[in-house]
Structure 1
Amino acid sequence: MSKLTATIFLLLLGAIITQAQNPADSKYDRQELMIPMRDGVKLNTVIFTPKAATEKYPFLLRRTPYGVSGAGAPDKGAYVKDLADDGYIFVYQDIRGRYKSEGKFEMQRFSRNKKDPKAIDESTDTYDTFEWLLKNIPNNNGKAGMYGISYDGWTTMQGAIDPHPALIAVSEQATPSDMWLGDDFHHNGAFRLSYGFEYAFMEEAAKTDSLFAFGMHDLYDWYLQLGSLANVNKKYFHNHIPTWNDFASHPHYDAFWQKQSLAYRLDSPRVYTMHVAGWWDQEDFYGPQKAYEVLEKKDRSHKNYIVAGPWNHGGWAGGPGNTLGNINFDKETGPTFRKDIQARWFAYHLKGKGDGNFAEAITFQTGSNVWKNYTSWPPAEAVKQNLYFHPNGQLSFDKPSAPKAFDSYVSDPAHPVPYRSRPIEQTYGPGSRWRTWLTEDQRFVHNRPDVLSWQTDVLQEDMAITGQLWARLFAATTGSDVDWVVKLIDVYPAEYPQDRKMGGYQFMVSNDVFRGRYRKSFEHPEPIVPNKVETYNIDLHTINHVFKKGHRIMVQVQSSWFPIIDRNPQKYVPNIFEAKETDFQAATHSIYRSAQFPSHIELSVMK
């Protein structure tokens, strides 16, 4: 693994592998070999087996597109050290078409036609791998588990769809569930430009990971100079990056995206499944929550569980997990997950150790900074309460009474609001702050004329928000399309003696973006009638956060988030990937806060 590839891999998976491949003092032996699949394609696989076999061991498999030849001994890295101390046979595999594995790579390969006995997919490759391992690796106990983060979490879910009989328990961690509705490449139809561009190139320009050569450090300027998305193929990719071609060919939520989603592929949970999410996962926060939700609807055997903590993408896998960016959580959450949750999970299901007493939902409540257990997720006991927009930037639980009232701003695609403070480095490039941008102080945009803010009075008591959030906007625009970015923010006291640099800090605890053309249907977009008040219901997902006494609750609304989100022309065009430079126009957007149109945030409050 090159230094560049290792850097990318560490960024992707939270510094999981940092040790030598197989140091002499490791308790594990290492071998690397090719395992044949049913169609003759062979997959590169690294296997670590305990040196002093004192029992028969279960398998733990991780399948990845990021390269396994550099994988270190499992007892020498934080992510699975507690598991390695218990004793397992660890198996790491390059998926089809990546690194040393044969075959053709397809991004999130579609599920096979089960009527075709020769068809393959990630599920059959997983099945065939277990079949070979059981027959060829000695001292196994006939049981297996899977785990992995991000794409590796997705391959874990694919292995659990049509599981091998030996597969008993899995832990998908930060799996993407729907690349159009809420994960890496789109959110509610808004295209995640910088991530989609850079990740597609990284995975598909070559068989091994590589970075695009931008030639500048602050990519805000590069993406602004790019202009229309049509220039990507015209100037750079030349139709050679399949995933980018899919972006451009499928701008709406059509059968392509629907069939790729886990909601389309999943049925009832067939193995014990633990979903893991980070509250500030900058890539796949939606995914594990959605996977849990889909399986939970048909979970008749109590096999479906969820864990959420104060982490970014893969942040539970290495390090103490006591801070993220400037935010301090007072305790080490990483070791708690790795030892008390992950290791216990597999020890019980694969080795019969422990009591098997796992809460339906284990979540870390930020603000109070304590772990909480729940019998359902979101908790059924949470009470819905609306926080309304009022004049003079006020938020209140009182419904507005004014007959006609709104706040307006001008959004200009030529001057988009940056999604994080500049410079905006390459996502996985040197010095990138991508991993912590969701915890950045939002004061860097607070006084921009194209960002609206409302906040409560100082809270007189703690308020625990636990469960589902919605933004209910009543809004109008002078254009025929619009993006709405909504952020729920914890505003620290102006004077904060515990840590003076946090005085007045605007800590974003929930957010998302919604592309206005999809307000009625994700499959069939419609232009917006200029100056007509429309309703926008924006899913802000779930949180578990306590707004402490002395803090304030703030909501910010804006219409660009660049370049993580592509610029909306604000003039309706059938396919934004084909927009012309002349289609981009400034527009005035209005958020209503009247008795008839009471824009608000719908909270889930724990009494």
Structure 2
Amino acid sequence: MRIASQGWLLVAILLIGGAASADQPNLTTANYERRVFDIPMRDGVKLHTVIVIPKGAKDAPILLTRTPYNAEWMTRQKESNDMRVLLEGFDNAADVIVEGGYIRVVQDIRGKHGSGGDFVVTRPLAGSPFNRTSVDEATDGYDTIDWLVKHVAEANDKVGIIGTSYNGFTALMALVNPHPALEVAVPMDPMVDGWRGDDWFHNGAFRQYAIAAIHGSESRDNSAEFPWNSADRYETFMRAGSVGELARRHGTDKVQFWRHIVEHPAYDEFWQSQALDRILADRPLQVPVMIVGSLWDQEDIYGATAVYKALEPRDRTGKQVYLTLGPWHHAQSIFDGSSVGKIRWGHDTAKWWRQQVLAPFLAHHLKGAPMDVAPVTAFESGSNEWRRLAQWPVAPANAKLYLKPNGELGFDAPAGPLQTADYISDPANPVTFVPRPMRVDDNGDQWESWLTADQRTIAARPDVLTFTSKVLDKAVSIAGEPMVKLMASTSGTDSDWVVKLIDVYPDRVADDTTMSGYQLPVAMEIFRGRYRKSLSRAEPLESDVPLRFEFALPNAHHVFRPGHRIMVQVQSSWFPLYDRNPQTFVPNIFFARPGEYVKATQQVVVAGPDASHIELPIRH
């Protein structure tokens, strides 16, 4: 959720627009006209809307984005008489918009910046138990499109909606009851399910970094800053103890959405009723959609493939549901895509995708142009090539990669009786997700790239189990969702399990020695043990009894090349990105007391009939 609080994020600027006003550039040679309107919704609330029209436009399609990130800021990235420069920046894909001759419309959603009404985070559907009003982002999207096709004289009757992150959520909401003029949707890195694996939780573990976004969510201009009391976020979280106590100290507990979060720590009706993949799976598929996901998305890695999985079976023609999986961090598809952190792809993958996939896809549906876009366009890391695919996943997860005694890893089942690998998990010394310090003043380099960060410093810790294959003599290609089948026990009554699938580079990489021995994460995920039996109901774990924990890793499209090795790491904390599990079962971890955080002996079964393994979707 890209509200001014995570990573580099966005500068929040409060610029309230007037009704039906025109805002022209200073230079008479400008190649666009910029208009500002406050558009009325069905309940009378007016939403601040900026329209940028190419000079000489006639019967032009509209590209709409509905945002909490400030429509004025997004449509005036730089003062210029050139439309492309004006729009260059977050969520605009200015090259595609300008070269395609589209009318650009960006609107503040209700309760944000220049718009009236109140803001509700990922507002639930109207008429649901959690929204008793008659409006939501679906109705607002419908009313906006209806107004645009009636009042923008230069436009035709074709509208596309596009957006990243929260704007991806609003793009998907427009599909719930789409306006007849809505011809296409492109949700990119969308927020889909805040509990299963997007912004707020991953499989029940709370993403503590989100507290800053939540803290500022109710301010109209996103300007309420979380009062970090240390330059290192690690210190801030550790000193407070529980994240609930941290929220109390800084007043975040007064924010309505925070209260919703702490009142619903399990995957109950509150979260299930808002999960957009579930919502859209129950509705007719009426609008062509290209779902865009980033394979190293540090914020919303779950949503894109979840929506694709829900919608693709409903595509009877094979021409309505498309998927892109790019080698990007969150929102990188509209910026330079040459690398993520230290991992370089050999070309600007984002520019290639915008020119070869996004542009023809939009032109086909909004202007009737021919296109040659595959149902699935997926970048394959390792080979560093784009692949045109008929469907996703390419392969089922059916090849078992076993965790073995003595830190070995392989596709043959370990022989012999039951054996375990042990470690001590101590909440007082949690495993970090990046090396300290976790900078409050991070300008993006730490947050954006942490999912590709070298894992060697983590592998050296005694509370991290590391399993490594022999050097590969042939390539191993995966294309889909790896499934963890972890058999493990804890001496406590609750536990988190973090599993990482890693590509280990050769000991010496001749053409780039900085990558020698690099441990590249391919897919990593956390699971909160109390939800082993049911995601919607927490239960204590039976101490010192091996139990099966099953969960999916994020989708991966990767080649482990000959000369490389495959690695799996297992640990029980991932701090301070995720809140610490006290390892004592408590009704609500948000309010765990200091004495309830205890050390625990963790045992992972690595031999015997129930040996732990990962089922890999190997592509032959």
1:604 is matched with 617
Q: 1:21 Cα shift? A: 9.8
- Cα-to-partner distance string for 1:14-38 (whole Å, 9 max, x where unaligned): xxxxxx9957465221112211111
The one-letter amino acid of 2:439's match is E
The one-letter amino acid of 1:45's match is T
Asked whether the 8 Å contact 2:234–2:576 carries over to 1, the reply is yes
- 1:132-151 matches, within 5 Å, as 132-151=147-166
1:508 is matched with 521
Q: 1:238 Cα shift? A: 5.7
Which of 60, 75, 85 does residue 63 from structure 2 map onto? 60
2:510 alignment partner, SS class: coil
Q: 1:263 Cα shift? A: 2.9
1:293 is matched with 309
1:36 is matched with 40
Judged with a 3 Å threshold, the aligned counterparts in structure 2 of structure 1 residues 114 and 463 are, in CA distance, closer, same or farther, namely closer
Normalised TM-score (structure 1)? 0.94
1:435 alignment partner, SS class: helix
Establish whether residue 255 from structure 1 lines up as the match of residue 269 from structure 2: yes
2:495 is matched with 482
Q: 1:10 Cα shift? A: 4.2
- 1:64-103 matches, within 5 Å, as 64-72=67-75, 74-76=83-85, 77=88, 79-103=93-117
2:394 is matched with 379
Which of 165, 173, 181 does residue 158 from structure 1 map onto? 173
Asked whether the 8 Å contact 1:21–1:71 carries over to 2, the reply is no
- Corresponding residue pairs, total: 592
Asked whether the 8 Å contact 2:8–2:443 carries over to 1, the reply is no
Asked whether the 8 Å contact 1:383–1:606 carries over to 2, the reply is no
1:591 is matched with 604
Q: 1:323 Cα shift? A: 1.1
1:596 alignment partner, SS class: coil
Identity rate, percent: 40
Which of 46, 49, 66 does residue 50 from structure 2 map onto? 46
Establish whether residue 405 from structure 1 lines up as the match of residue 408 from structure 2: no
Which of 333, 341, 345 does residue 316 from structure 1 map onto? 333
1:169 alignment partner, SS class: strand
Judged with a 3 Å threshold, the aligned counterparts in structure 2 of structure 1 residues 586 and 286 are, in CA distance, closer, same or farther, namely same
- Larger mean Cα displacement after TM superposition, 203-212 or 590-599: 203-212
Establish whether residue 388 from structure 1 lines up as the match of residue 397 from structure 2: no
Structure 1 residue ranges (4+ consecutive) displaced by more than 4 angstroms after TM superposition: 4-12, 20-26, 114-118, 428-432
Judged with a 3 Å threshold, the aligned counterparts in structure 2 of structure 1 residues 431 and 60 are, in CA distance, closer, same or farther, namely closer
1:534 is matched with 547
- Larger mean Cα displacement after TM superposition, 199-208 or 337-346: 199-208
- 1:105-504 matches, within 5 Å, as 105-113=119-127, 119-194=134-209, 196-237=210-251, 239-266=253-280, 267-302=283-318, 303-319=320-336, 321-355=337-371, 357-380=372-395, 384-426=398-440, 429-430=442-443, 433-504=446-517
2:16 is matched with none
- Cα-to-partner distance string for 1:252-298 (whole Å, 9 max, x where unaligned): 11111111111332134220000001110000111111011111232
Asked whether the 8 Å contact 1:230–1:578 carries over to 2, the reply is yes
Asked whether the 8 Å contact 2:49–2:71 carries over to 1, the reply is yes
Q: Distance in 2 between matches of 1:460 and 1:333?
A: 29
- Larger mean Cα displacement after TM superposition, 113-122 or 255-264: 113-122
Q: Distance in 2 between matches of 1:23 and 1:371?
A: 43
- Larger mean Cα displacement after TM superposition, 304-313 or 463-472: 463-472
1:581 is matched with 594
Asked whether the 8 Å contact 1:451–1:557 carries over to 2, the reply is yes
1:568 is matched with 581
Q: Distance in 2 between matches of 1:434 and 1:147?
A: 24
Q: Distance in 2 between matches of 1:278 and 1:167?
A: 25
Gaps of 5+ in 2: 13-22, 77-82
Q: Distance in 1 between matches of 2:278 and 2:317?
A: 21
The one-letter amino acid of 1:246's match is H
The one-letter amino acid of 2:193's match is D
The one-letter amino acid of 1:68's match is A
When the two chains are superposed, the root-mean-square deviation of aligned CA atoms in Å is 2.2
1:234 alignment partner, SS class: helix
Which of 539, 554, 565 does residue 552 from structure 1 map onto? 565
1:605 alignment partner, SS class: coil
Q: Distance in 2 between matches of 1:598 and 1:11?
A: 49
Judged with a 3 Å threshold, the aligned counterparts in structure 2 of structure 1 residues 488 and 6 are, in CA distance, closer, same or farther, namely closer
Judged with a 3 Å threshold, the aligned counterparts in structure 2 of structure 1 residues 492 and 238 are, in CA distance, closer, same or farther, namely closer
Q: Distance in 2 between matches of 1:148 and 1:338?
A: 14
Q: Distance in 2 between matches of 1:46 and 1:198?
A: 28
1:15 is matched with none
The one-letter amino acid of 1:515's match is R
- Cα-to-partner distance string for 1:444-498 (whole Å, 9 max, x where unaligned): 1111010000010111111111112111100001000000000000001111111
Q: Distance in 1 between matches of 2:11 and 2:495?
A: 33
Q: 1:318 Cα shift? A: 1.1
The one-letter amino acid of 2:533's match is K
The one-letter amino acid of 1:438's match is L
Asked whether the 8 Å contact 2:467–2:567 carries over to 1, the reply is yes
Q: Distance in 2 between matches of 1:442 and 1:558?
A: 12
1:520 is matched with 533
Q: 1:227 Cα shift? A: 0.6
The one-letter amino acid of 1:581's match is P
Q: Distance in 2 between matches of 1:514 and 1:479?
A: 16
Asked whether the 8 Å contact 1:191–1:565 carries over to 2, the reply is yes
Q: Distance in 2 between matches of 1:90 and 1:599?
A: 52
Asked whether the 8 Å contact 1:440–1:507 carries over to 2, the reply is yes
2:333 alignment partner, SS class: coil
Normalised TM-score (structure 2)? 0.92
Q: Distance in 2 between matches of 1:161 and 1:527?
A: 38
Q: Distance in 1 between matches of 2:157 and 2:539?
A: 54
1:347 alignment partner, SS class: helix
